[in-house]
């Protein structure tokens, strides 16, 4: 589950990374969207049939069923990684092969690393096995962080601006990391909930600000219907026609 979810997050981010570099969003035959649907299908099978179904052995292959989606995921992810990374390292559409913002093609790597690396370290070093006991909450918490940096990368591409290396959303994983550093001073389950709530609120706050700025610039309304204002003379003429 850890491998599937974080691979899907990474693939989605790298797809927009190559867009930020090349200026064009490319779609393959089996790409990020298909990978995410595959992960959803695997979890649906687990929910309907139970996790024990993946321990079933295939007689002809002498392999457990769980190894098939793992190997298939590795192969599909490898093709997607290769395609996107080839585009990234070929050179960008900016000056001297830079990104659309004129920055280094490696600049989006730092935010991604600050999500994946802490997630793996915290998972490995947890004294209370916080991931094994609460996998859904763990993936959701880091998923919100990954969503925030991916949204910022998309906005950076659209506005041709520089990608920030640090972000306030990293305080969420930072809570878990510091708690482990100080020998799990607080209950990791409570800290994980705080990380999830903070990361979710931070993402929603960012999305709200971006939507309001876009609406303000384009002079449009978001999720609201403003009544049409008519002048008094138009109302009088309409009333006169109705009376007549």
Q: 70-81: per-residue pLDDT in tens?
A: 888 788 888 888
Domain assignment of residue 211, yes or no: yes
Domain assignment of residue 225, yes or no: no
The answer on pLDDT for 66 being more than 50 is yes
- What is the count of structural domains for the chain? 1
Phi, psi of 187 (to 5 degrees): -60, 125
Domain assignment of residue 229, yes or no: no
Q: Each residue of 44-66: b (16+ CB within 10 Å) or e?
A: eeeeeeeeeebeeeeeeeeeeee
Model pTM above 0.85 = no
Average confidence score pLDDT of the chain: 86
Provide the strand spans (E) within the chain. 57-58, 63-64
Domain assignment of residue 159, yes or no: yes
Nearest-angstrom CA–CA distance, 192 and 128: 12
Place of tokens 């041709």: 160
**What share of the chain has pLDDT > 70, as a percent?**
90
**Top-confidence residue, 26 or 99:** 99
Domain assignment of residue 233, yes or no: no
How much is the pLDDT for 82? 87
Q: Which residues is 64 bridged to in the sheet?
A: 57
What residue numbers bound the domain in which 77 lies? 1-218
How much is the pLDDT for 195? 96
**Top-confidence residue, 9 or 235:** 9
Q: Where residue 64 falls among pLDDT bands split at 50, 70, 90?
A: confident
Contacts of 95 (CB under 8 A, 6+ apart): 102
Domain assignment of residue 241, yes or no: no
Pick from 84, 116, 81, 80: nearest CA to 20: 84
Domain assignment of residue 226, yes or no: no
Domain assignment of residue 223, yes or no: no
Nearest-angstrom CA–CA distance, 186 and 139: 20
Q: Which residues is 220 bridged to in the sheet?
A: none
């Amino acid at each position: 589950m850890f491998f599937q979810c974080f691979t899907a997050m990474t693939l989605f981010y790298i797809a927009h990374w190559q867009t930020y570099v090349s200026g064009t969003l490319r779609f393959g035959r089996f790409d990020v969207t298909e990978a995410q649907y595959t992960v959803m299908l695997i979890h649906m099978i687990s929910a309907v049939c139970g996790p024990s179904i993946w321990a079933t052995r295939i007689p002809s292959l002498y392999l457990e069923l769980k190894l098939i989606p793992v190997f298939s995921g590795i192969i599909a992810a490898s093709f997607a990684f290769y395609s996107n990374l080839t585009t990234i390292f070929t050179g960008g559409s900016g000056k001297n092969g830079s990104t659309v913002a004129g920055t280094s093609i490696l600049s989006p790597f730092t935010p991604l690393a600050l999500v994946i690396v802490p997630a793996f370290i915290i998972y490995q070093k947890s004294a209370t096995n916080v991931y094994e006991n609460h996998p859904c909450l763990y993936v959701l918490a880091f998923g919100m962080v990954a969503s925030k940096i991916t949204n910022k990368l998309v906005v950076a591409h659209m506005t041709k601006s520089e990608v920030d290396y640090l972000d306030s959303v990293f305080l969420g994983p930072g809570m878990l990391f510091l708690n482990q550093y100080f020998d799990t001073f607080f209950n990791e389950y409570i800290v994980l909930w705080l990380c999830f709530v903070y990361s979710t609120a931070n993402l929603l706050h960012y999305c709200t600000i971006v939507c309001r700025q876009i609406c303000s610039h384009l002079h449009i309304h978001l999720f609201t219907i403003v009544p049409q204002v008519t002048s008094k003379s138009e109302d009088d003429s309409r009333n006169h026609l109705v009376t007549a």
